[in-house]
Amino acid sequence: MKYLLYFPMLAVVLIAYNVIMLTGDSIQTNPDLIRIPLMANDDVMHLKLGDILVMLGIVFLYFEILKATRASKSTIIDHALSLVVFIVFLIEYIVVAGAGTATFMILTLMSLLDVIAGFTITISTSRRDISLGNGGL
């Protein structure tokens, strides 16, 4: 169970996108999965599969940033795995035909933000720990 903390959660979104892409479904043209009626002018909000993947990615990004705030020996492993996930996102976005969508680009940017925020938070936290360790100098 402890090893699940190392696993980058955005990899779940990457795997889900690839599974959908390999089954032949298009993220952009798939039918609405959820329709939510709105009170204003009897409008209906239509959620497609790509929208749901982006929302799931945002939730996972929050948890990834939350994981970056802990200072432990496993933090480096977590950041390295997040970097690998970003590299896979980037390579797929550039090379794979079905990944050239706005949805995939947004997910790639979320993965980049995960890497940058993870390293930034870890550096800030370690800098604070070092200053506390030196008697506050």
Each domain of the chain, given as residue ranges in start order, spans 2-133
- Going by pLDDT thresholds of 50, 70 and 90, the confidence category of residue 129 is low
- Kindly report, residue by residue over 15-74, the tens digit of the pLDDT: 999 998 888 777 766 677 788 888 877 888 888 888 999 999 999 999 999 888 877 777
pLDDT-based confidence at residue 84 (cuts at 50, 70, 90): very high
C-alpha span between 4 and 27 (Å, rounded): 28
Span 114-133, average pLDDT:
76
Say what the pLDDT of residue 134 is. 56
Query: pLDDT at residue 10 above 70?
Result: yes
Q: Share the mean pLDDT of the chain.
A: 85
Please calculate the CA angle 12-106-2 and round it to the nearest 5 degrees: 25
- DSSP conformational letter for 71: -
> Which tokens in the block code for residue 39?
């009170």
CA distance 22 to 98: 9
In which region does residue 40 sit, left (phi positive, over 0), alpha (psi from -120 to 50) or beta (all else)?
beta
Report percent pLDDT > 70 for the chain: 85
Say what the pLDDT of residue 42 is: 80
Cβ–Cβ < 8 Å for 64, 118: yes
